[in-house]
Amino acid sequence: MKFLIDRLAFRNALQRVEMGIDRKPTNPVYGGILIEATNNSLQLMTNDLDMAVRYRVDFVQVDQPGWAVIPGRELVDIIKDVESDTVTLTLNDKGGVELQAGEDVCDLVTFESSAGRGAEERSESFPLVPALEGDPDVAMDKGDFLVMVNSTRFATSRVQDTRFATEGVLFELADGQATMVGTDGRRLACIHRPTTGGKGGKSRAVLLPKVLDQIYRFGQDEEGDTISIWFLGNLVGFRLGNLESFGRVLTGEYPNYGNVIPAAGKHVVRAHRESFTKKLRLASHLTQDSAAVVRLALSSNNMEVASEHEGRGRASANFEVEYSGDGLKMAFNPAFLLEGLKSAHSEQIELQIDDASRPAKFLLGDDFSYVVMPLSSLV
Amino acid sequence: MRHAESACSVLHVDLDAFFVSVERVLNPRLCGRPVVVGGAAATRGVVAAASYEARQYGIHSAMPMAQAMRLCPHLIRVPGQHKMYARASKAVFDLLGGYTPVLEKVSVDEAYLDLRGTEHLFGRAVDAAERMRREVKERLRLDLTVGVSRNRLVSKVASGFAKPHGLFDVRPGQEPRFFAPLPVKVLPGIGPVTQKKLRDFHIDDLGTLATTESWFLQEVFGRYGPIMKRRARGEDATPVCPAWGKPVRKSIGQERTFAEDTHDAVVLRGRLQAMLEETCARLRREGWLARTMSLKVRYADFTTETRDVRLPHPSDHDLEWWQAACALLEKALRRRTLIRLLGVRFSGLQRGFWQGGLFEEERIAQRSRLTVLDRMREKYGAQAVCAGDRLWLYKSP
């Protein structure tokens, strides 16, 4: 294998597959990048068994086809630091790789390579993933998908729950509509968007957030307006332009989210997102780090956001809202509200409340609901 | 919150042999005789407070009662009346609160006062202190010892120096001279381990400690070394913080010494359950949630072990803590030594609000049940409803 590639194109490609490199590999090959050079294109692949990324780079001068699994982290770091415009990578007969960038030369080992074998022979130790062929199960607007990820990812649990797979994001398909849900058990974000193609039918998978983070990070730069998705048993595959990402499906049970989204609240408040955010941020400066609380008090066309930090002081901020019901008081974790408001799609938001002890529903855009469990007073 | 400045204005007040003094107010026949307050020797009680007459026999607080009785056979023991002590303490601090609002209560019988700004009302701090002592004696018949200086540390050491029923005033600038001859152990924060280390380097008094090079102390004691040196010179910038200026409570807990040392898992689990129930009920009553629980185990050979556990979310619910507590007890039982004392302590306290979950109907329902149980216990007594493990404690012999 021998090829010459533009350094920036190579660096960008490596950035896209970098998240699939296992940082603490049980088998060295999981910490490697499989590079396959074929007719004027290069395919890079990583797989840490939780997620796999495959990326194709065109316009590469391939002098000799072949493949090699190269130590991933080292290759990424080297390509970040070399200064030449192009890079040449050559696989020698002994199974080593020479990387030449201008005057600089680095020799890297390979975990497995086509040296001494045919270029068409496949790797035996690198965990390959299926090709994304045929009609996808679903196709949808790329922008819609990225909005769905951004609207739900923040609400997922950061720790593993013993009961539910809430560290993942639920992705559901039914009746030409895609639904994405993220929850950590105390708040829940749910968003629906239409699909534009694919086989249709019903499908459901709890996705590892890591793969969604990767798609969100690089998806915008990929060519094309459509994302195609394949459900492959214990994997879900996504294709955007030249980028193919695969995520492991979490096997745990996902909570029945439909039960906790209130249908419609007795009390309806309409507020300006920016004003609400500013008042919340102000009040949150005077909350305890370990137990942050803000109290919302609703009266006719007014919302008071109040907080208190024992030993530091208290804050009270008022702003105008659309509300005509009775006086109502609730308490929330300010971080939950601020994170939701940050992801809102519309400037005007709606808050629906049944009573102070029941979950409150925020409508933060078209088909985007955010449910937050209020805090109950102990005294 | 106010920082002590150059003027002599910080007082440390300490009620002498407080529990015993209250008992003597209630029963004057105890005056002039060796008296201790504490549990009976038969129930392995310990001395909670000893009169100065009893102290002459070598009796001190936390000493097993049986040992105290051996040291002084004609010792008079009275059981504690803690509600009465709390009332007396409140009366004293209400009286002292009339001198300054900047009063930081550190225990039932001890407080710091900052008298800055009260000179026009009560004159010099030392005169105000004398007046306080007189007033407490006349109105409540209790002895008060006061240390006066320009910071908390020196006032605290000064009051210890002035005991019993004395007053000691350390003038500004005299702190190093006052501290120099005193042994290092009088400095709060220097315990037996540090003392031993200091002794190894022939540092026995505060004067020597104050003149030891900072780099040397840093090398031996780390970050605390240079701080220790400053404190040995009588320097302390800690302000007097009244209750309204800071969150006071850091932990809530209780501990029990068994009538007989035991390794019986049933008895230990029962006792643990009882302590958890009672302490969690207290957490709920006072509106706290705890992040960490510590289990303290003292073995028959007097070695003490403390183990901590944290829940993913703060809780005041004994059932939520129960499994974690049992796991800690299991570990404690691996040491095949009889257990003398068991204690439970909750820390990482936070106040005010409880975060329910969207998918935790059972947890929310449990919380409602707990509220009902608490009301039942309030009405019919703590043992009216209890967990099964605890019943073993009440079984008939």
DSSP codes, B144-169 = EEEEEESSHHHHHHHHHHH-SS-EEE
Is A375 close to B353, i.e. CB distance below 8 A? yes
* The pLDDT of residue B14: 92
The C-alpha of B371 sits at a distance from chain A's nearest C-alpha, in angstroms, of 11
One domain, residues A229 and A276? no
Dump pLDDT digits (tens) for A67-78: 999 999 999 999
* pLDDT higher than 50, residue A322: yes
* pLDDT higher than 60, residue A186: yes
**Chain A residues touching B360 at Cβ < 8 A:** 185
What is the average per-residue pLDDT within A290-305? Answer: 89
Domains of chain B, by residue range, sit at 18-81, 176-232, 251-394
Q: Residue A162: inside a domain, yes or no?
A: yes
Is B359 close to A185, i.e. CB distance below 8 A? yes
DSSP state, B212?
A: S
Among A256, A311, A331, the residue with its CB nearest the CB of B247 is: A311
Question: What tokens does B79 get?
Answer: 């059981």
Instruction: Give the residue with greater pLDDT, A379 vs A345.
Output: A345
Is A290 close to B288, i.e. CB distance below 8 A? no
Interchain contact A295–B (C-beta under 8 A): no
Q: Which of A88-97, A159-168, B302-311 has the lowest mean pLDDT?
A: A159-168
CB-based contact B67:B107 (threshold 8 Å) = no
CB-based contact B282:B316 (threshold 8 Å) = no
Q: Which CATH number fits domain B176-232: 1.10.150.20, 3.30.565.60, 1.10.1060.10, 2.40.50.100?
A: 1.10.150.20
* The pLDDT of residue A348: 94
* pLDDT higher than 90, residue B120: no
Partners of residue A86 on adjacent β-strands: A6
Share of chain A above pLDDT 70, in %: 99
Interchain contact A291–B (C-beta under 8 A): yes
Q: Residue A229: inside a domain, yes or no?
A: yes
* pLDDT higher than 80, residue A120: no
Q: Radius of gyration of chain A from Cα atoms?
A: 25
Q: Radius of gyration of chain B from Cα atoms?
A: 24
Q: Which residue shows structure tokens 């023991």? A: B77
What is the average per-residue pLDDT within B164-177? Answer: 88
Selected residues 342-361 of chain B with any CB under 8 Å from a CB in chain A: 348, 350-360
One domain, residues A148 and A243? yes
The Cα B293–Cα B308 span in angstroms is 6
DSSP codes, A12-33 = HHHHHHGGGS-SS-SSGGGGEE
* The pLDDT of residue B4: 41
* pLDDT higher than 60, residue B6: no
One domain, residues A315 and A211? no
Q: Choosing among B249, B323, B358, which should be mutated to test the A contact, i.e. which has the most A CBs within 10 A?
A: B358
* pLDDT higher than 60, residue B3: no
B320 is catalytic: no
* The pLDDT of residue A379: 62
One domain, residues A153 and A216? yes
The CATH class of the B251-394 domain is alpha beta
Q: What is the mean pLDDT of chain B?
A: 86
**CATH code: domain of residue A183:** 3.10.150.10
Does this model's pTM top 0.90? My answer is no
For helices B125-140 and B82-97, give the axis angle rounded to 10 degrees: 140
Q: Name the closest residue on chain A to residue B288, using Cα atoms.
A: A378
One domain, residues A307 and A234? no
The C-alpha of B89 sits at a distance from chain A's nearest C-alpha, in angstroms, of 24
Among A183, A290, A333, the residue with its CB nearest the CB of B358 is: A183
Q: Residue A124: inside a domain, yes or no?
A: no
One domain, residues A322 and A275? yes
Q: Name the closest residue on chain B to residue A186, using Cα atoms.
A: B357
Which residues in B320-359 are b (16+ Cβ under 10 Å) and which e?
bbbebbbebbeebbeeeeebbbbbbbbbbbbbbbbbbbbb
Total structural domains within chain A: 3
What is the average per-residue pLDDT within A220-249? Answer: 92
Is B358 close to A333, i.e. CB distance below 8 A? no
Dump pLDDT digits (tens) for B14-67: 998 889 999 999 888 888 889 999 888 777 788 888 998 899 899 988 888 888
The C-alpha of B289 sits at a distance from chain A's nearest C-alpha, in angstroms, of 9
Selected residues 284-343 of chain B with any CB under 8 Å from a CB in chain A: 284, 287-289, 291, 312, 314, 316
What is the average per-residue pLDDT within B129-143? Answer: 91
For this complex, say whether ipTM is above 0.95: no
One domain, residues A280 and A324? yes
Question: What tokens does A188 get?
Answer: 């829940």
Pick the catalytic residue: B53, B104, B110, B255?
Answer: B110
The Cα A233–Cα B251 span in angstroms is 51
One domain, residues A76 and A18? yes
Dump pLDDT digits (tens) for A2-61: 999 999 999 999 999 999 998 888 888 899 999 999 888 899 999 999 999 999 998 899
One domain, residues A142 and A254? yes
CB-based contact A240:A55 (threshold 8 Å) = no
Dump pLDDT digits (tens) for B191-239: 888 888 888 888 888 999 999 888 888 888 888 888 889 899 888 888 8
Rounded to 5 degrees, φ, ψ at B342 are -130, 135
Interchain contact A210–B (C-beta under 8 A): no
Is A290 close to B350, i.e. CB distance below 8 A? yes
* The pLDDT of residue B366: 81
* The pLDDT of residue A288: 77
A221: domain range? 138-258
One domain, residues A277 and A215? no
Last residue of a domain, one of A258, A280, A304: A258
The Cα B281–Cα A209 span in angstroms is 40
Interchain contact B368–A (C-beta under 8 A): no
Q: Which CATH number fits domain B18-81: 3.40.1170.60, 3.20.20.70, 3.40.50.720, 3.40.50.450?
A: 3.40.1170.60
Count of A–B CB contacts within 8 Å?
69
